Amino acid sequence: MASCNILCSVKPQIDSFKKSCFSQSWSSRPHGSSYFNNNFQFRRSSFVIVKASDSKTSKKQVEITYNPEEKFNKLADEVDMEAGLSRLTLFSPCKINVFLRITSKRDDGYHDLASLFHVISLGDKIKFSLSPSKSKDRLSTNVAGVPLDESNLIIKALNLYRKKTGTDNYFWIHLDKKVPTGAGLGGGSSNAATTLWAANQFSGCVATEKELQEWSGEIGSDIPFFFSHGAAYCTGRGEVCFYLAFCFQMSYSFQLCMRFCGYPCISLGL
């Protein structure tokens, strides 16, 4: 989860990356795995860097990098197929609203909306490592002012995953932040979806992708979208997604306003 162009579409079914665990299809979900093949034609994603390795043996387990010139992903030459997953690096793309219509105000204070969400090439990179701690996650980032406590959606996602699955993995996470906070691009929501997908990989995929998507709506309205193929028509608070079978091949120029302007502030007058 973890996507037009986001991340790879597949997920292993057990806690080690083995050939039989991978699908041959690609999508725009916050994923980082693939069926083992030397030349994978990329259907939707156009930028992926996914790495996993074993900290005990220092052997490479999975390393997939996207080559934009040759249009396919390459596996590292040296891959230890039996190595246990201990580190994982994933790309976490943001999204734009191609259009947004507020349809009504709800009794719970939220707004019903109708919008077309679409991922773009701007995104963060998140590094996950298993922590020896059984009581606390540790989050770091390259940007000052980003909360590192339980108010951060990454930590919320990990707490939610442990609550739902009963697993006890804790993590060291480093967030390489590129998406401006409070920009309305869903950067935090994407981080949460990517984190849920990563936690599931470390735990042997004990949850289905559908379950991850359903659970994610408990901590953020537009997090479920990031389990899509990169484009979806969204209603409700944004959590009801009707996936589109294609991504738009468009090129636009955007001007980012670096001033924080969160959705709660914007929606007060609606």
Q: DSSP characters for 31-97?
A: --B----S-EEPSS----EEEEE-TTT--EEEEEEEETTTTEEEE-SS--TTPBP-EEEEEEEEEEE
Residue 16: which pLDDT band, with cuts at 50, 70 and 90?
very low
155 torsion bin: left (phi>0), alpha (psi -120 to 50), beta (else): alpha
pLDDT of residue 241: 78
Copy the structure tokens of residue 101: 């219509």
CA 70 – CA 67 distance, rounded (Å): 6
Residue with tokens 């390459």: 74
124, 156, 177, 222: the active-site residue: 222
DSSP state letter for 246:
S
Q: Helix 187-202 and helix 209-216: axis angle, to 10°?
A: 140
pLDDT of residue 212: 96
Computed over every residue of the chain, the mean pLDDT equals 70
pLDDT of residue 57: 54
pLDDT of residue 58: 53
User: Does 3.30.230.10 match the CATH number of domain 19-267?
Assistant: yes
Q: What is the tens place of the pLDDT at every residue in 202-260?
A: 998 899 999 999 999 999 988 999 998 888 888 887 777 787 776 666 666 666 555 55
DSSP state letter for 180:
P
Window from 3-17, 143-157, 192-206, 230-244 with minimum mean pLDDT: 3-17
Task: Give the mean model confidence (pLDDT) for residues 45-74.
Answer: 42
Residue 147 pLDDT greater than 90, yes or no = yes
pLDDT of residue 79: 38
User: Is 15 assigned a catalytic role?
Assistant: no
95, 124, 137, 177: the active-site residue: 95
Backbone angles phi, psi at 197, to 5 degrees: -65, -40
Helix (H) or strand (E) holding 162: helix 153-165
Residue with tokens 């991922």: 119
SS3 for 214? helix
User: Is 112 assigned a catalytic role?
Assistant: no
